[in-house]
Amino acid sequence: MALWGMVIDLDRCTGCQACVMACKAENNVPAVGQKEAERGRIISWMQVLTETDEEHHSEKMRFIPRPCLQCDDPPCTKVCPVYATYRNPEGIIAQIYNRCIGCRFCMAACPYNAKYFNWYTYQKEKPGQNPDVSVREKGVVEKCTFCHHRLQKARERAHAEKREIEPGEYNTACAQACPAQAIIFGDLADPGSEVSKLARSPRAFKLQEELGTKPKVIYLTEGEGGG
């Protein structure tokens, strides 16, 4: 079975936020408005975190695009009281919006702050949205799903044509949109895939690897000379 994963090359990332916008459009992520944004309630499944290098103070900034890291040992699914978030067999952490009771325990447990809450009813279904992705109601938690609806579509197409999913047939919106090609998506279970090769690079590292969450989003650190 496939094990979907992502490699993000920080050497290539320019912090342009194209991935963020592509994700918002693809997944019907609501725009919360200025007032709510000022209160710290922006929903951004893909969020570009900025880290200042402590050695060089503010001289050096690092952009870390952070989707849900789809941990293989996720701290968030353990604590869910109602099975509204779980790891599916292909390694994607699913959210069941219609079951979530909004206790926000998964948000408190996620060491990457990848989970977001609908504090109000931020949007209703309307034309112009992506019809493949459901619109979330108030009071539930949501997060990046590796554009899971695209996997379902690709799988259905392949099934109809009686073949396996080809490499590259299933890609996430952020990877597609990145102008610097810093985001590469694919099957980590296939050792020949591009993600697998990049994941074995000596530059590869994982966020908070010491926590043992086994994230399937792997970062490539900046090259020796560059920044």
Partner 1 sequence: MVEHKDVHEEILLAPIAQTGPGFYWAVAGLAVFILWGAIAYAVQFHQGLGVTGLQQPVSWGFYVTNFVFFIGISHAGTLISAILRLSKAEWRRPITRMAEVITVMVLFIGAGQILIDLGRPDRMMNVIRYGRYQSPLLWDATSISAYLTASVVYLYLPMIPDIAVLRDRLKKRKLFYSVLALGWTGTEHQQRILNRAIAIMAVLVIPIAVSVHSVVSFVFSMTLQPMWHSTIFGPYFVVGAIFSGIAALIVAMIVFRKAYGLEPYLKPIHFRYLGQLLLIMALLWFYFTFSEYLTGYYGAEPEEMKVFWAKFIGPFWPFFWAMVLCNFVIPIACLARLSQRTVGKVLIASLSVTVGMWLERFIIVVPTLSFPRVPFPEGVYSPTWVEWGLMAGSFALFALFYLLFTKLFPIISIWEIQEGRETGLKEVEERLLTYLPDEAEANILAVSTRGR
Residues that bind partner 1 (CB under 8 A): 36, 39-42, 47, 49-52, 64, 66, 75, 78-84, 99-105, 107-109, 111-113, 116-121, 138-141, 207-208, 211, 213
Contact present, 133 and 146 (Cβ < 8 Å): no
CB nearer partner 1, residue 79 or residue 154 = 79
CB nearer partner 1, residue 51 or residue 190 = 51
Q: How far is the CB of 147 from partner 1 (least distance, A)?
A: 22
Residue 66: beta bridge partners?
47
How far separated are the first and last CA of the chain, in Å rounded? 37
* Counts of helices then strands in the chain (DSSP H, E): 7, 10
Q: How far is the CB of 175 from partner 1 (least distance, A)?
A: 21
CB nearer partner 1, residue 141 or residue 177 = 141
Let me know if 7 is exposed, middle or buried by CB neighbors in 10 A (0-12, 13-18, 19+). buried
CB nearer partner 1, residue 51 or residue 156 = 51
> How many angstroms separate the Cα of 47 from the Cα of each of 169, 188, 196, 199?
25, 23, 24, 21
Q: How far is the CB of 166 from partner 1 (least distance, A)?
A: 34
Q: How far is the CB of 159 from partner 1 (least distance, A)?
A: 30
Q: How far is the CB of 97 from partner 1 (least distance, A)?
A: 10
Contact present, 54 and 39 (Cβ < 8 Å): no
CB nearer partner 1, residue 113 or residue 157 = 113
Burial 69-84 (b: 16+ CB within 10 A, else e): bbbbebbbbeebeeeb
Q: How far is the CB of 117 from partner 1 (least distance, A)?
A: 6
CB nearer partner 1, residue 115 or residue 150 = 115
CB nearer partner 1, residue 136 or residue 148 = 136
Q: How far is the CB of 212 from partner 1 (least distance, A)?
A: 9
Distance in angstroms (rounded) separating the CA atoms of residues 70 and 110: 11
Helices (H), 57-165: 75-79, 105-109, 148-160
